[in-house]
Amino acid sequence: MMKTAGLIGGVAWPSTLSYYRLLNEHIQRELGGLHSARCVIVSLDFAGVVAAMTEGRRDDARAQMETAARQARAAGAELIAILANTGHFAADAVQAAAGVPLVHVARETGDEIASRFPSMRRLGLLATSFALDAPFFGQMLGEGAGFELVLPDAAQRRTLDAAIFGPLARGEASPADAAVISTLCNALVARGAQGIVLGCTELSAVKPWIACAAPLFDSTDIHARAIVREMTRA
């Protein structure tokens, strides 16, 4: 029987929309017929979360995530997932608050790439400054999966944040945004990255337009498939 997934979303809403579509597509592919994803979505107000993090009130942002986790569990969630890479700064707290297993985007992404590309050693990573400053990518992709991470510099992070927290978070992706992301991808490749992780769900929206000299790994799709795997695990 399919487990009910508790999904913490709204950060930002286009991310939640992408995940909901992917989860249902993968469930239908896995189970066939008219099956759809059993899930509970607790959608946060993105403005409040971003304000707390921008102002250095990480405990406040974490508390919002913990509250959402408890609400999802109370509504019947049997596993939990945060529908945003950045939100994984609070992954341990969310799992503790929910009291059910958490499917972690960085762990799943690292495991998937290591399995498919065993000779790949250097990974470029595009994500928000909040996510890049948090330790979870280094722990899961670096220490956990054994990759050397090639990260954007300070100016590139500002450019990336402007795109993510601007048009992409509003659901206004365009080829012009993809051109910016393409430039950043290729800058990391020039520094030795053998593949690029799109470590922010908003970046998935411009993936079809990105021109990159190395393989792209969409953490959103990898994460969605992992969530479905856990939902359908006997």
Domain co-membership, 85 together with 190: no
Domain co-membership, 170 together with 145: yes
Domain co-membership, 109 together with 138: yes
Q: pLDDT tier at 171 (50, 70, 90 boundaries)?
A: confident
Threshold 0.85, pTM exceeds: yes
Domain co-membership, 213 together with 116: yes
Residues 16-32 have pLDDT tens digits of: 999 999 999 999 999 99
Pairing of strands 216-218, 195-198: parallel
Domain co-membership, 40 together with 68: yes
Q: pLDDT tier at 50 (50, 70, 90 boundaries)?
A: confident
Q: Is a pLDDT exceeding 80 seen at residue 234?
A: no
Mean pLDDT, to the nearest integer, of 210-214?
Answer: 95
Domain co-membership, 207 together with 228: no
**Measuring CA to CA, how many Å separate 44 from each of 13, 75, 118, 135, 149?**
9, 16, 38, 23, 30
Residues 96-133 have pLDDT tens digits of: 999 999 999 999 999 999 999 999 999 999 999 988 98
Q: Is a pLDDT exceeding 80 seen at residue 144?
A: no
Mean pLDDT, to the nearest integer, of 193-209?
Answer: 93
DSSP letters along 19-59, please? HHHHHHHHHHHHH-TT----EEEEE--HHHHHHHHHTT-HH
Domain co-membership, 198 together with 147: yes
Residue range(s) defining the domain that contains residue 154: 105-219
Domain co-membership, 127 together with 78: no
Domain co-membership, 164 together with 113: yes
Per the model's pLDDT, the better-predicted residue between 231 and 173 turns out to be 231
Q: Is a pLDDT exceeding 90 seen at residue 143?
A: no
Residues 149-165 have pLDDT tens digits of: 999 999 999 999 999 98
What's the CA angle centered on 153, arms 10 and 114, to 5 degrees?
70
The reported pLDDT for the residue numbered 12 is: 81
Tell me what percent of the residues of the chain surpass a pLDDT of 90: 75
Task: Give the chain's domain count.
Answer: 2
The CATH number given to whatever domain includes residue 179 is 3.40.50.1860
Domain co-membership, 11 together with 47: yes
The reported pLDDT for the residue numbered 53 is: 83
The reported pLDDT for the residue numbered 10 is: 82
Exposed/middle/buried for residue 119 (C-beta within 10 Å: 0-12, 13-18, 19+): exposed
Residue 206 DSSP one-character state = T
Q: How many other CB atoms are found less than 10 A from the CB of residue 205?
A: 22
Mean pLDDT, to the nearest integer, of 219-234?
Answer: 96
Domain co-membership, 114 together with 99: no
Q: Is a pLDDT exceeding 90 seen at residue 68?
A: yes
Domain co-membership, 123 together with 70: no
Per the model's pLDDT, the better-predicted residue between 75 and 201 turns out to be 75
The reported pLDDT for the residue numbered 46 is: 83
